[in-house]
Structure 1
Amino acid sequence: MKKIVQILLTAFATTSCFALDINAVFDNQKKAAFPDTAEIIMQTTVTLPGMASQTVRTSILTAGSDKSITTVKSQMMNMQIVKNGDIIRVTDLKTGKSLPSQSGLQNEPTDITSQMGRPEDYKAPVKEKGLWKIVPKDESKPVFFYSDKNRRVVKMIAKIPMDALGGVATAKTEYKYCDNSCQLPGTLSSVEIKTLMPNAQVSNVKVDVLSAKRRSNLPMALFNIK
């Protein structure tokens, strides 16, 4: 009996030594964020069941955390979104017409930390198939998977209630990051979201970061909203 207790204590101590600190996950994930002032070009490919793939090219120029110019181009649209503080102006670049300025938030599509919440929102991470599985205390929130090698979150699984169709969809997101050959090593290089619908159909959204670089000294007149 004494020997068994010693084995259990040793196993517990070994597990504790290699346990993942949830705070380290958040600290490392913050390093994947693009600089506040940057120029980013992305290409998004959307594939829906029974439909041809659609590609959207997005250019984002940011100045600090509250100013940005986003240009979106596809076969269906060509528009510019200027954000200054909490005010947004949307302009149709084909017609030159602008919608009335409005209050609102424009979320950065590659910002993972905004979806994660706080370290205290999660249970202790557990190892699963070579990754750390990070389960939220609130079951309605996404589950994240963290890689020791990448020191980044590499996968997210979220359950999405589908009121119109009934049932729940499952969205699996995979993240890849730039290596040292990029101008901004450690930042996201691609995000792919595969969603399994309650009717067993699958949609796919792939975001590729074509380029990302730090910018500085941008004229504030660029972000004027009249």
Structure 2
Amino acid sequence: MVVKLLDRGIHYVGTARQANHNICAVKWYDSRAVTLVSSFAGPDPVQNIQRWDKANKTYVEIERPSIVGTYNKYMGGLDLLDSFTAKYKFPMKSRRWYVYIFWHTIILAVINAWLLYKRECKALKMPKQEILNRRQFQADLASSLILVKRSQPPLDVRKDLMAHFPVKTKRGRSRQCSKGYTNTQCTKCDVRLCFSDNRNCFLDYHCIHI
């Protein structure tokens, strides 16, 4: 209600009374302050857990409200999306709003993929130590995308000497030589290859060496 009033330019100050809706709000400080709201979990029973103390470089025992443990156990995609967005500070308000929508879609896809991966691992009863955490999963996913992007056509297609026509495209690195840049691309293999007076990677790439 206070937020709605402020949106209409109406300022408010007053006391808050306890509501009889079985809603519990708990503020807890770990690495940062966080406020949790629940309709079924509360601070009790308090749990003793281990936390790394950077100052003393050792593990210390602290008390954690039950609601925090419940949140950590059942947090889902929206919570992960919010934390990921906050971590990388994607602009919520910008003239280039379409860039935010693009990255929002990518992040959402990655998080959903990780949640599906965890579900499949649980269904297959994989050992906990073999299941990738979110950061490991993201790193493996990024590596696989890079490999797909850099993959080459099968050797039998590359060397079949059929319909490998050169066309002009945007300048980029040649697939055949490590230091060459070219704007010539093979229509069939979909890779850039040098094709000039000084270097003919196009021929070397498709040639059958006997």
TM-score (ref. length: structure 1) = 0.19
- Higher Cα Rg: structure 1 or 2? 2
Higher helix share: 2
TM-score (norm 2): 0.20
- More strand by percentage: 1
**Using CA pairs below 8 Å that are at least 6 residues apart, which structure has the higher relative contact order?**
1
